[in-house]
Chain A
Amino acid sequence: MRHLRSRTTALALALGAGLALTASSWSGQASDASDASGRKVTIVGVWTGPEETTFKKMVLDPSKIDYTYVGGRNLDQLIRSDVQNGTPPDIAVVASPTDLSEFAQELVPLSAAVANSTALSPLWRKLAQYQGQQYGVVLKADLKGIVWYKQGALPSALNPTAPTWAQLKTLTSTSKPWCMGLGADAGSGFPGTDWISEIMLRSFGPADYSKWVEGQLEWRSTQVKQAFKTWGTILDGVRGGAASAMLTNDSTAGAAMFAPKQGCSLDSEGSFITSDYPAKSSYDFFPFPGIGADQSGPAYEVAANFAGQFNHGPQKAAATRMMAYLAGDAGQEQWQKAGDYSVDQHLQATGSTQAAKTIAGILQDRTGKNATLCFGGSDLMSSAMSAAFDQAVLTFASNQSTLPDLLKQLQAVQDSTTTRPGAVCGN
């Protein structure tokens, strides 16, 4: 009967593929003048709703290049089927460099001028390289591994300038301070993988973190096992426990900090989360403290969106112009104006609040502290590995006793993957 489910999935996939074929290609139909002239660049991206509006109005429109944009939350599958059909979009905006590297053979290699390489630190350049060749550009970046709190409401048990892990651990066991939501539609579970990645980085330093992300440190290793267990104690520090974390959305969990009767007081999330906080709320952050004995200096987990250009049809020249604009100073400045973070070192590290300026400075490597930036672990893993990791944290959250079995299964997925990231940590 297992076949029943498989058959339903296969049916849906087959019908979906049929639909895709029936619907023709991204640029196959010339329904308007711009399409007919072949100058309209087709872009698919991960942003929908307000983010999509911002991207179009603040970033794409000023380019003066004709485009069509469609935003969706599950682009991997869509791009994969379009590439297989020979009808990929001109440009794809994805949430991780791995999403691009899996299509490296289909992507247009980019010159240093198009990628605006001189404006990027080595890590940001390497992340979107495949076999030494640039195939993607960074659009906007975010800082992860930081803990947000309502301004003026930092729990008194924490050191106001630099809370320590010991303080956090005590607070976790005594007052359940953590806001947490593991729900994120098709990407549910990713907040948990961010937690595990952060704990790995803070506990064992960039070296072991890199090995783990690259698949050289086994999932069944002591380090990974310990990271899961540490996260397990954090889960116990969520009001309502694991059930509450699992049945709450990532984007809404932090709002409880700003309720008249605070539901939680600490929210470990990337810098992108502030756009989901209630309007006019005041907040600040502190970096997640070191957990282990690693003394390799300050390290931050980061994330970014990347764009890649598919070698596709008569729009190639216009698409290359669009890529150059998006990666260039003009396009990056537009991101900053929209309130997002750029890693373009030609630009000033700006922000509307002190917290935002600090984040911009870290991302552009302007802190002067020689901080190490490490890209988010699950974002650098193969899509199969990343999906399995998402599923594993959800299963672990629902029943922590499943950990040994889960780690065994994760290792099996790792053993079957060949994807290796271009870079993990650096500056």
Chain B
Amino acid sequence: MTPPRIGFRQIPSNTTTTTARTLHRGRVWLLSLTAVTLIASLSLFYGASHGARIMCTEAVPAVSGVINARQALIGADADAITALPGTSAPLTGPGNDYAGEITLATQSLQQVAAVNAAGTNGTQTLQLLGSMISTYSGMIENATTAYAGGNRLLGLSEFWYASNFLHEKDSLLDKLSLLDTQEEEALGSQDSSFWISTWTIPLWAVPAAALLATLVIMQVILSRRLRRTLNPGLAAATLLAVVALVAAPILAAITDHRLSTTVSTLGLVRTDAPSLSAEADLGGQSSFLKLLTKACPGCAATRNAVNAVTIQDRQAKSLPSPQVAKLSEQTDRLGAVASVDLGLCIGLGIGALAVGALVTAGLWRRIYEYRYQA
């Protein structure tokens, strides 16, 4: 910026006074610290709100999708076996309830696919699951056709193969759990806790404190050396900086708190999810057990295997009911706080520009006045 020339003698720049140099350096420090503090605050808030957004738009839908798919598949299995003894005509198929559950399971996985965070691994598992659901569906239809056609032993056996395909180790439900783990791991790496952890506080607090301290020091210098009671520009800049620098961390802290609450509820929902389908599965497996005992009294190994599933179901039934409604409410609240991030970023940017402008304006006349005085 070129100083006004009218009425003043042109002085070479190397003759600038000590006071002017102090003021000049102060201005440079203030502007630099304003910029650094702005960047640190934006990073802080962006980090926190990014985690919140990921949680709302990816983690919760992914986990919900897996839970819903699991519930629907177990429901389909139970519907199919419950309908089996009453199936008298080969034309009715496994029933509308069953078909609805299969559709729901596939749609739920499509929901997971849309927010898949686990990259190639998640994609592979999703594709495998899509294929497995088709296979399972075909097996159930074979079972129903055979049973209704009068070949009860074949129908019952085919149902058991299908149900095994769903329940057995490393089968369909286990692949769903694998998908859940893959998504959880991928999303866990995006947790925002880094931005609010104790040791990252200095990353934004130090430049902020330095800015405030420099503003105060400059006021003191102006007051003592230049006998000015209060520089309005610097005072306004100080006020703005205090407001902006306090608002960003508070909002980030609120975001982080809501995020950790949601993460915690999500973990509980995931753990307790088996209780949602335990009742239906227990009903289905118990129905199958009755038919099995009648058809094959000597099939002890198979009965033991089915009994093992019912024991797991009873254990799952005793789990607390998953806090799905609470999760939904917390996700909404988290989404609300995360959605203000753009406005805050713009506000922080404008605030920083205003601080810079006020500092420049506040010091401008003093630097100019004292450029030749010791």
Q: Footprint of B on A, CB under 8 Å?
A: 1-2, 4-5, 8-9, 11-13, 15-20, 22-32, 35, 40, 42, 44, 48-49, 52, 68, 70-75, 77-78, 81-82, 89, 182-186, 188, 239-240, 242-244, 246-249, 252-253, 255-256, 391, 394-395, 398-399
Contact = CB atoms under 8 A, between A and B. Distances in A.
Given A29-B119, A29-B120, A252-B301, A391 B142 contact: yes
A268 to B, nearest CB: 18
A92 B110 CA distance: 24
Interface residues of B, number: 69
B102 A248 contact: no
Interface stretch (B45-53, B125-133, B207-215): B125-133
A23 B120 contact: no
Contacts of A75: 131
B134 A248 contact: no
B93 A49 contact: no
A2 B301 contact: no
B273 interface: no
A11 B169 contact: no
A12 to B, nearest CB: 4
Contacts of A184: 161
A74 B175 CA distance: 13
A5 B93 contact: yes
A19 B130 contact: yes
B329 interface: no
A398 B134 contact: no
A177 to B, nearest CB: 15
Contacts of A185: 161, 164-165, 168, 171
A259 to B, nearest CB: 10
Interface string B133-145: 1110111011011
Contact of A246 (B103, B141, B157): B157
A23 B130 contact: yes
B179 to A, nearest CB: 10
B107 interface: yes
Contacts of B145: 5
Interface string B102-128: 110011011001101111111111111
B113 to A, nearest CB: 4
Given A35-B119, A74-B132, A398-B151, A15 B157 contact: no
Given A35-B119, A188-B158, A16 B133 contact: yes
Contacts of B160: 183, 247
Closest 7 A-B residue pairs measured CB to CB? A31-B119, A1-B91, A240-B298, A15-B106, A19-B130, A48-B170, A78-B131
B11 interface: no
Q: Is the interface of B mostly helix, strand, loop or mixed?
A: helix
A19 B102 contact: no
A73 B120 CA distance: 19
B152 to A, nearest CB: 9
B299 A31 contact: no
Contacts of A71: 170
A64 to B, nearest CB: 19
Given A8-B102, A186-B139, A240-B296, A23 B158 contact: no
Contacts of A186: 135, 139, 161, 165
A247 B124 CA distance: 32
Given A2-B91, A12-B106, A19-B130, A28 B161 contact: no
Given A20-B126, A23-B123, 17 more contacts: A9-B137, A9-B141, A11-B103, A19-B126, A23-B130, A31-B117, A35-B120, A68-B124, A70-B128, A75-B131, A78-B130, A183-B157, A183-B160, A185-B168, A186-B135, A243-B295, A247-B160
Contacts of A2: 90-91
Contacts, number: 207
B123 A25 contact: yes
Contact of B298 (A18, A30, A244): A244
Contacts of B138: 9, 12
Residue among B116, B130, B133, B292 with the most chain A CB within 10 A? Answer: B130
A278 to B, nearest CB: 12
A154 B110 CA distance: 54
B132 to A, nearest CB: 6
Interface in B251-299: 292, 295-299
A44 B118 CA distance: 17
B164 A68 contact: no
B154 interface: yes
A70 B125 contact: yes
B158 A394 contact: yes
Contact of B141 (A5, A52, A183, A252): A5
B324 interface: no
A249 B305 CA distance: 10
Contacts of B156: 247
A32 B119 contact: yes
B39 interface: no
Contacts of B119: 29-32, 35
B187 to A, nearest CB: 12
A74 B157 contact: no
Contacts of B205: none
A265 to B, nearest CB: 16
A70 B124 contact: yes
B186 interface: yes
A318 B296 CA distance: 52
Nearest to A36: B119
30 contacts: A1-B91, A5-B93, A8-B102, A15-B110, A16-B130, A16-B133, A19-B106, A19-B126, A22-B113, A23-B126, A26-B127, A28-B120, A29-B116, A29-B119, A32-B120, A35-B120, A42-B120, A72-B175, A73-B132, A78-B127, A82-B127, A188-B161, A240-B298, A242-B153, A244-B299, A247-B299, A248-B299, A253-B301, A391-B142, A398-B151
